[in-house]
């Protein structure tokens, strides 16, 4: 069975602070994929990043960066110099290999990020 845990239910920061959202996963698959999605108040899930289990390189995209560590089964997400527009619920998700689970995503509980001006 697959499981994703986002221990931080809510985080509140002041604009321009850096913030890290934690994600810990469990899977028995040797091939798997990790994702982050953002859900603003409008409700639509917005794709942020996909990472496969064979690629442990960290990634940076503008103010966003991701730290994937297989040794600790973690895939953390950092927002640098946060802005009010970053306020949203962020979900970490896991998918097994295509042959085992297709495109099925297992989501964490989500972290509500509030950035105050």
Partner 1 sequence: KAGVTQTPRYLIKTRGQQVTLSCSPISGHRSVSWYQQTPGQGLQFLFEYFSETQRNKGNFPGRFSGRQFSNSRSEMNVSTLELGDSALYLCASSFLIAGGVVNEQFFGPGTRLTVL
> Which residues lie near partner 1 (CB under 8 A)?
33, 35, 37, 42-47, 50, 52, 91, 95-99, 101-110
CA distance 111 to 108: 9
44 vs 57, beta carbon nearer partner 1? 44
Q: Nearest CA to 42 among 81, 87, 92, 79? A: 87
- 72: tokens are 């600790």
Closest approach of partner 1 to the CB of residue 81, in Å? 25
Closest approach of partner 1 to the CB of residue 99, in Å? 8
44 vs 117, beta carbon nearer partner 1? 44
Give the 3-state secondary structure of residue 27.
Answer: coil
Closest approach of partner 1 to the CB of residue 21, in Å? 16
33 vs 77, beta carbon nearer partner 1? 33
Closest approach of partner 1 to the CB of residue 39, in Å? 9
- 51: tokens are 């990472």
Maximum alpha-carbon separation in the chain: 46
Backbone angles phi, psi at 26, to 5 degrees: -135, 130
């Amino acid at each position: 069975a697959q499981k994703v845990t986002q221990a931080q239910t809510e985080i509140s920061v002041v604009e321009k602070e850096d913030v890290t959202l934690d994600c810990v996963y469990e899977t028995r698959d040797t091939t798997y994929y990790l994702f982050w999605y953002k859900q603003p108040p409008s409700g639509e899930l917005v794709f942020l990043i996909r990472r496969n289990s064979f690629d442990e390189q960290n990634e940076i995209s503008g103010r966003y960066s991701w730290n994937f560590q297989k040794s600790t089964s973690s895939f953390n997400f950092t927002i640098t110099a946060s802005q009010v527009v970053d306020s949203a619920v962020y979900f970490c998700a896991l998918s097994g290999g295509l042959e085992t689970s297709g495109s099925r995503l297992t989501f964490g509980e989500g972290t509500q990020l509030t950035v105050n001006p």
